[in-house]
Chains A and B, each alone.
Chain A
Amino acid sequence: MALIDTINPLLTTGWGKGDAGWSLKDYEARGGYAQLKRILTSKMSQDDLIAEVKKSVLRGRGGAGFPTGLKWSFMPKAAPEKYVVCNTDEGEPGTFKDRDLLRFDPHSTIEGMIIAGYAVGAKRGYNYIHGEIFEIYQRFEAALDEARAAGYLGENILGSEFSFDLFAHHGWGAYICGEETGLLESIEGKKGQPRFKPPFPANFGLYGKPTTINNTETFAAIPFILGMGGEAYLNLGKPNNGGTKLFSVSGHVNRPGNYEVPMGTPFAKLLEMAGGMRGGRKLKAVIPGGSSAPVLPADVMMDCTMDYDSIAKAGSMLGSGAVIVMDETVCMVKALERLSYFYYEESCGQCTPCREGTGWLYRVVHRIEHGQGRQEDLDLLNRVTDNMMGKTICALADAAAFPVRSFIKHFKSEFEYHVEHKKCLVDPEVQRAGSGFFRASSATEAA
């Protein structure tokens, strides 16, 4: 899905030409690699560089929203061997921004990573790319070749003292390999299973060495921040929520796609950019930050602006910026069943509460959806999620619990109706009308 619209393009400046604008030449024409050159020629200090990033209040775009400058400053200065790792695993349902970033403008991520390497004193970087977007991996490799040939990567970059090389690594599509320590294990050639933290990657990361790991979009923002200055970037958004953000809008909108908007843009505006509700139907619910973010009902969502603080205040998370829009034709039990199935499938299986709990949740939601629910099931679901949350090695267990809790919280009557009447509250015919899948098949029927 290419970009359709944007306010204040930074990350998406080069996207306009579709597949034609990704090359090094195009990127340089847009001012690319100028920041790297400036840093190297001016011999900017690492501290100044990190201070600039801190000023921008860039927060990690991978989901947790951790301040990037602060994260970089955790890297031990003296360590002889360090790594920078980019997380392009992008497995969160609803999220499809990182792959477009690498498809249309891979060099901004490369430049961001080189600059990060400079800032934290790493000589080597890896970009871990989701296994199911192999053509993006190939695109990134092509861009790396260009950068290497142009002297942006390798020994003594642009004649400076600084050396840095960067490699692409593709996974095989496991969601858990997006969790940063699972990702590191996977690069090391092991099974992708998160590590217990602490120690955090800044102390014990790739191959046991200090490692900075950020999301693709986080790295891609770096050259733009340095170009305009941290403060100007911050001011694009709102306090504590610097800059612009890519939102992957999907679901029942007329123009699903990636949209870059300043932090703090009203949800209503984003929805409008995405062409509004498909078929003019009524908005029912929105998952604002990827499938693991709690769902919000329409009215709550319509009052939100798209930034970390506003969404958190409303009881959800901005997460990765995947905005899943659901209209009135959606059966919330069925939607939850699909989500629960995902987490049940993707749990790595290490920790007891997640290994056993994700399956339990899925089975109970499944039986409610299939008319075999029991009165006590809603309490049971809440109790099981309660027993999972905050008790595991990584956040996948919480990610599995949030949808269950929020769906039941906001749409309890639908669940109760299912248990009681052994069918959906939303008439199947209505569901059929709303679903693209169903519509396609009825079209066949008609023909």
Chain B
Amino acid sequence: MVEIEIDGTTLQVVEGSTIIEAAHQMGTYIPHFCYHKKLSIAANCRMCLVQVEKAPKPMPACATPVANGMKVFTHSELAVKAQKAVMEFLLINHPLDCPICDQGGECQLQDLAVGYGESASQYEEEKRVVPDKDLGPLVATDMTRCINCTRCIRFTAEIAGFMELGQSYRGERAEVMPFIGKTVDTELSGNIIDLCPVGALTSKPFRFSARTWELSRRKSVSPHDGLGSNLIMQTKHHRVLRVLPLENEAINECWLTDKERYSYQGLNSEGDNGRLTKPMVKQGGEWKEVDWNVALDYAAHALRDVAKTHGGSAIGGLLSPHATLEEMYLAQKLLRGLGSENIDFRLRQSDFSADGKRKGTPWLGMKIAEIGELDRVLVVGSFLRKDHPLIAQRLRQSAKRGAQVSVLHSADDDLLIKLEARAIVAPSQLPAQLAEVVNAVAALKGVAADPALAKVGAGDTAKKIAASLVSGSEGSKCGVLLGNFAQQHPQAATLNVLAQQLARLLGGRFGFLGEAANSVGGYVAKAIPTGDGLNAAAMLNTPRQAYVVVGAEPELDCADGAQALASLTQAAAVVVLSPFKSQAMLDYAAVLLPVSPFSETSGSFVNTEGRVQSFYAAAKPLGESRPAWKVLRVLGNLLKVEGFEQNSSEEVRDEALGGAPEFVSGLENAVNVAPNLEAAANGLERVADVPIHFADSLVRRAPALQKAADSAVPSARMNAATLVKHGLLAGDAVKVMRSGIQSDGAGDTAQVTLVAQLDNGLPDNALRVAAAHADTQALGAMFSVLSVEKI
């Protein structure tokens, strides 16, 4: 610690901190533009100039480190004169057309100009005009307003991890721009809008739709990935018009993924595939809009009939992992009240062998913020950058400070993280490869590995990963993280056990990167089968008479969408509670109950670290839609199921959690199963990712995101050797089939037509075809053996 004095007040600050940080610590504001606590120091705007005793010139507070005994004056004549001088320079070429600028009302330049600017300028030359840039569908530009603070440039390079923007030309003609003909395509691009202190970068979808002071603000929680990023929802006339990050160091820091920022557009989606706003029932093959009581009666009758004639187990409940805790809790209670144990929210999972053998609720195994403290990390089975962009971002920063990150996966997508080692193997080889790493670590540690793993030995790649994992010095922290792909894997339980063994050998921790907002919450809400109950895969494998679907589109959200569609279609009664409609739903459902998306209901998500985050509705329910917890409550009453007396979502939550804890209890990743290292697949194995903008029903309906680079049409990706082996060239149109089904034979449905594409990040004999997409849904299971033919 060093002692310094700012404006006459003495304070202790950490050595190495800068004047601006010290001032911040004592609550003194120093005007600034280029400085941002998460970015490197550029010291280019010069707005933060302050006087430092003995220094002949004013010093930039953002870049000047404190020194013991330093005396700083932030408001002295010298300081204020310098600050005003800089403000004058900033304004001479600024358009000053705030009334028509989208940033008006929330502009740092506008705010500071009030304090440091003069009412008239002596600059009477012509102002600079800078051509706008095309940064893609999400970020609008008005480059004449740019003050060249380079925050956006530093963000894309340092946080998003890829140099996408730069400053071209020099002097007065300096311009911020992307590479010629390129757009800004990171999954975090929207953050540059928040960072831009002026109106140079604004939200393209939001553009000119409202003035900021007309907007109401509500805190909320992201319904997408397992982080539960904190949001500020901005509404006008009960429509969400913009979403901004609510800073929370423990979760999303001050960032949002583009998915979280722009998915709100789906909340306002219209048309055949848009919001469902009226209850509907199918009568004689015809859909009719009806009153709520008619629809609810209809649903209750249908379910009661099936339960009566076929028993409760003839009903299956498929719950979206993006549904709220309250919705899941009431849904499982309703199903159990009807005598069904067939309840699941783990729709993309395919291995349920750990059920009943878990010691608790699987979770991240640590706090989100603790990921950034890991020194040695192994990420297993994860499209990390797209599945968990903000965790990737944390690891990116860790790698820069010296943490070693290794990857074990079936695709070598560029994570924009400096990797220490990587093993890219076909999906069926993932368990054996992880077992090799366990063996190699055991060998390095001089302890005996699990004898069950002996037969796989340890190859060079595994040894390299192991060497990195054990290379940390005394007290360094190791972590093994299992991604979505690992959780969806047909040997997920084995991967779980192996990670558990590995963490034990390393004295580190392991956990699951929660796929969805309520991947932990679903367990807590008891939305999983017990006893003889059928899990998500089983209740589709052995079709039921009736299904209750809450918030999901099973044909896109399940591990085998084709099978889900078939099972739902054959069912006598499908009751759907959904904020959206779709053609598929109209085909298989008997009744459609319009329920509120997260923005129009109160509820809770339990994030991947077990944190309970409750939120209120940001807007009134659209049309006749109603919060799903209320709909389920009424259904419970109609079906005379006990325990449906709750009067608020808080009551439901408190019942589900036994109170309102900050973190849920019972989090535990250990399972008690024997590892199974038999590689099942043989042939051309499918590698299925869930593209970031197709992962759930809300984001699939967000138009701007659907235009982004990440929403490209799925292709059939193979490495060069695999292309050659199948006599293909990149660009060929190909027929991709589930193995065993010939192009002329039966089961014609299990084939899709795609364009072959070269992807040398794939292992041999792997064919990457994205899941969760209408174009590939017919292909069925995410993990399967495929064949490919040139058309």
Q: Which residues of A contact B41 (CB under 8 A)?
A: 196
Contact mask for chain A residues 342-370; partner B; CB cutoff 8 A; 1 contact, 0 none? 00111111111101111110010000000
Whole-angstrom distance between the Cβ of B551 and the nearest chain A Cβ: 49
Most buried by B among A191, A346, A352: A352
Q: Are B125 and A355 in contact (CB under 8 A)?
A: no
Contact mask for chain B residues 732-772; partner A; CB cutoff 8 A; 1 contact, 0 none? 00000000000000000000000000000000000000000
> Which of the segments A101-109, A127-135, A390-398 contacts the partner chain?
A390-398
Q: Are B82 and A349 in contact (CB under 8 A)?
A: no
A351 to B125, CA, bound (A): 20
A396 to B56, CA, bound (A): 18
Q: Which residues of B contact A391 (CB under 8 A)?
A: 46, 49, 57-58, 82, 85-86
A320 to B44, CA, bound (A): 27
Q: Which residues of B contact A352 (CB under 8 A)?
A: 44-47, 86, 89-90, 147-148
Q: Are A347 and B172 in contact (CB under 8 A)?
A: yes
A347 to B169, CA, bound (A): 10
Q: Does A203 interact with chain B (Cβ within 8 Å)?
A: no
Q: Does A431 interact with chain B (Cβ within 8 Å)?
A: no
Q: Which residues of A contact B54 (CB under 8 A)?
A: none
Q: Are A355 and B171 in contact (CB under 8 A)?
A: yes
Is the contact region of chain B dominated by helix, strand, or loop, or is it mixed? loop
Which residue in chain A gives the minimum CB-CB distance to B41? A196
A352 to B171, CA, bound (A): 10
Q: Does A310 interact with chain B (Cβ within 8 Å)?
A: no
Q: Does A176 interact with chain B (Cβ within 8 Å)?
A: yes
A415 to B88, CA, bound (A): 25
Q: Are A191 and B89 in contact (CB under 8 A)?
A: no
Q: Does B93 interact with chain A (Cβ within 8 Å)?
A: yes
- B45-73 interface (Cβ within 8 A of A): 45-47, 49, 56-58, 60, 63, 65
Q: Are A360 and B123 in contact (CB under 8 A)?
A: yes
Which residue in chain A gives the minimum CB-CB distance to B122? A380
Whole-angstrom distance between the Cβ of B78 and the nearest chain A Cβ: 10
Q: Does B43 interact with chain A (Cβ within 8 Å)?
A: yes
A346 to B173, CA, bound (A): 11
Q: Which residues of B contact A383 (CB under 8 A)?
A: 122
CB < 8 Å neighbour of B170 from A198, A348, A386, A390: A348
Q: Which residues of A contact B166 (CB under 8 A)?
A: 191
CB < 8 Å neighbour of B92 from A196, A347, A350, A356: A356
Q: Are B90 and A356 in contact (CB under 8 A)?
A: yes
> Given A352-B89, A360-B125, A387-B89, do A392 and B46 touch, yes or no (CB 8 Å)?
yes
Whole-angstrom distance between the Cβ of B73 and the nearest chain A Cβ: 16
Q: Does B174 interact with chain A (Cβ within 8 Å)?
A: yes
CB < 8 Å neighbour of A393 from B43, B123, B172, B173: B43
Q: Are A387 and B88 in contact (CB under 8 A)?
A: yes
> Given A350-B148, A352-B147, A356-B172, do A393 and B44 touch, yes or no (CB 8 Å)?
yes
Q: Are B44 and A351 in contact (CB under 8 A)?
A: yes
A360 to B172, CA, bound (A): 10
- A373-392 interface (Cβ within 8 A of B): 376, 380, 383, 386-388, 390-392
A174 to B169, CA, bound (A): 11
Contact mask for chain B residues 78-99; partner A; CB cutoff 8 A; 1 contact, 0 none? 0000100110111011000000
> Given A352-B90, A390-B57, do A176 and B170 touch, yes or no (CB 8 Å)?
yes
Q: Are A353 and B89 in contact (CB under 8 A)?
A: yes
Which residue in chain B gives the minimum CB-CB distance to A379? B122
Whole-angstrom distance between the Cβ of A314 and the nearest chain B Cβ: 21
Q: Does B665 interact with chain A (Cβ within 8 Å)?
A: no
Q: Does B167 interact with chain A (Cβ within 8 Å)?
A: yes
Whole-angstrom distance between the Cβ of B61 and the nearest chain A Cβ: 12
- A65-90 interface (Cβ within 8 A of B): none
Whole-angstrom distance between the Cβ of B21 and the nearest chain A Cβ: 16
A447 to B624, CA, bound (A): 95
Which residue in chain A gives the minimum CB-CB distance to B175? A349
A304 to B57, CA, bound (A): 29
Q: Could you list which residues of chain A lie within 8 angstroms of chain B, going by C-beta atoms?
A: 174, 176, 191, 196, 198, 344-353, 355-360, 363, 376, 380, 383, 386-388, 390-393
Q: Given known contacts A355-B174, A356-B89, A357-B89, what 6 new A-B pairs fall within 8 Å (CB)?
A: A349-B173, A351-B43, A355-B89, A391-B46, A391-B57, A391-B82
Q: Could you list which residues of chain B lie within 8 angstroms of chain A, going by C-beta atoms?
A: 41-47, 49, 56-58, 60, 63, 65, 82, 85-86, 88-90, 92-93, 122-123, 125, 147-148, 150, 166-167, 169-174
Can you identify 5 A-B contacts, CB atoms within 8 angstroms? A350-B148, A351-B44, A352-B44, A359-B172, A391-B49
Instruction: Give the 9 A-B residue pairs with the shortest CB-CB distance, closest first.
Output: A349-B174, A387-B85, A390-B57, A347-B171, A356-B89, A196-B43, A359-B172, A350-B44, A349-B171
